[in-house]
Structure 1
């Protein structure tokens, strides 16, 4: 199966005139046969606008998959449904969990889905929620819940399920998309709260394959400790991935490190970034 992957929402924009950036992520997956899949929807500020600027018909999307239940990945679902009509929406069973970022000042910011399940269902969302690794379409898989097995991928320690900062949120609903191509697996990350290496190892243990050709999306290294960033970069090098298009929550420091360590493989996944494989 051949695919065209296009980044529609991202923190920064590429050379396509008139596209807009936002803190968020969305990618359009167009297979050579069958319906397109929308993976994440950004905050909702740029998805529809950028798709129009890039002549992408989002009405042709057959399924929507959500990497996890944060506003910058699922906030665009409501405007998408209002524009394009009812869709089946795939995600983890915990995507509607209440979530907050508690700042050092004590300020509590809600960062979960902006709308509740009932409102989204009234707008046409037919939710298909599961923790399992599963096939969405021929050659397209959603990882399901990622086991946390590495010692160094401790994740973001500033996320909570309450405003008092008592209940840590490890974002168990974090999932990635896996595409089977003739060149190997292409892994599309949303935010990768579970950790890049945890995600890759889960894919390998589930599929029996370690031939990852490309890694696209957010790595969440901007919000993690130095040890996690260092060891992640080294482990990624050992995987021998041919293309690493990082963005969103990767952060400048981690992106610069990847650019130095794997200069031939590294790219920036800005709005408009496209991979045909």
Structure 2
């Protein structure tokens, strides 16, 4: 599938992230949530990408940002982890729409756990499962394929793993046929926006598929090589120096106009991004607004 559509305008608001700007009134939390406002041919759609993990803090920020919840037309979940999905049932109820599209990978509701520092499930929590979402008014679109929300706004679908230096970034496990298996986070998806005259904006949750792989997929999906911007979590917080260097080099070759990275990106990779891109890089923070053009 190739998405040929373009948006005329994109506004991206960071509703939740791990950090807040100096003297900001907003509440930070471990997690991420974006509001995308997309415009094309006089049509405006608002898409919520992830909901972080604390619905009380998220709703407080939404109120301070004067965002009307009923304006949200769809929700994209980038992957299963609790810091991107917890409180989803509550948020859907607050939006108050019937048949609200909730877009995710088919594996999103599986058991996903870590054993360090102790055994615990880190995937979708009780209250946010499939039945909870549907009872709250959501209609779930589970697909491995890219899904076009409107021309110029598409999910990546399951991302092809091409590079030899990228990895999930954390030791995760699941259980299949009663056997413990390494979880490769195949449910990790991102959102791709193509803005007329500017190029692609890639919105990620954690980039467990690898940001170079995600970017390659975005280019393939849209048949557009110009990368205007990359924003979100890149999950190199525990990466080796070798992976950090190789990832920065790969992004340099894609030559984005800007990169705004935070959440799970990690301080060392943020420093590497600054050294590579200078003022084209900025750390992500709650309350940040990006408008294109």
Q: What interval of TM-score do these two structures reach, taking the shorter chain for normalisation?
A: over 0.9
Please say if 1:253 is aligned against 2:264. Answer: no
In the other structure, the counterpart of 1:124 is 137
CA contact (8 A) 2:202 2:218 kept: no
Question: Which of 41, 46, 63 is matched with 2:51 structurally?
Answer: 41
Uncovered stretches (5+) of structure 2, i.e. residues with no partner: 1-7
Q: State the distance in 2 between where 1:245 and 1:16 align.
A: 20
Shift of 1:195: 0.2
CA contact (8 A) 1:37 1:65 kept: yes
Question: Which of 208, 212, 218 is matched with 1:203 structurally?
Answer: 218
Q: 1:225 to 1:155 in 2, by over 3 A?
A: farther
Question: Which of 153, 159, 184 is matched with 1:170 structurally?
Answer: 184
CA contact (8 A) 2:21 2:286 kept: yes
In the other structure, the counterpart of 2:231 is 216
Question: Which of 15, 30, 53 is matched with 1:8 structurally?
Answer: 15
Q: 1:15 to 1:35 in 2, by over 3 A?
A: farther
CA contact (8 A) 1:43 1:74 kept: yes
TM (norm. structure 1) is 0.94
Shift of 1:157: 4.2
Q: 1:58 to 1:23 in 2, by over 3 A?
A: same
Task: After the TM superposition, list the runs of 4 or more consecutive aligned residues in structure 1 that deviate by more than 3 angstroms.
Answer: none
After TM superposition, the structure 1 stretch with the greater mean CA deviation from structure 2, 189-198 or 254-263, is: 254-263
Q: State the distance in 1 between where 2:271 and 2:211 align.
A: 17
Q: 1:145 to 1:113 in 2, by over 3 A?
A: same
Figure out how many residues of one structure are paired with residues of the other and give that number.
Answer: 274
Question: Which of 93, 116, 122 is matched with 1:111 structurally?
Answer: 122
SS in structure 2 of the partner of residue 35 of structure 1: strand
Shift of 1:63: 0.6
SS in structure 2 of the partner of residue 161 of structure 1: strand
Aligned ranges 1:8-157 → 2 under 5 Å: 8-15=15-22, 17-32=24-39, 33-45=43-55, 46-86=57-97, 87-103=100-116, 105=117, 107-115=118-126, 116-157=129-170
In the other structure, the counterpart of 2:174 is 161
Q: State the distance in 1 between where 2:20 and 2:283 align.
A: 10
Q: State the distance in 1 between where 2:238 and 2:106 align.
A: 24
Q: 1:85 to 1:252 in 2, by over 3 A?
A: same
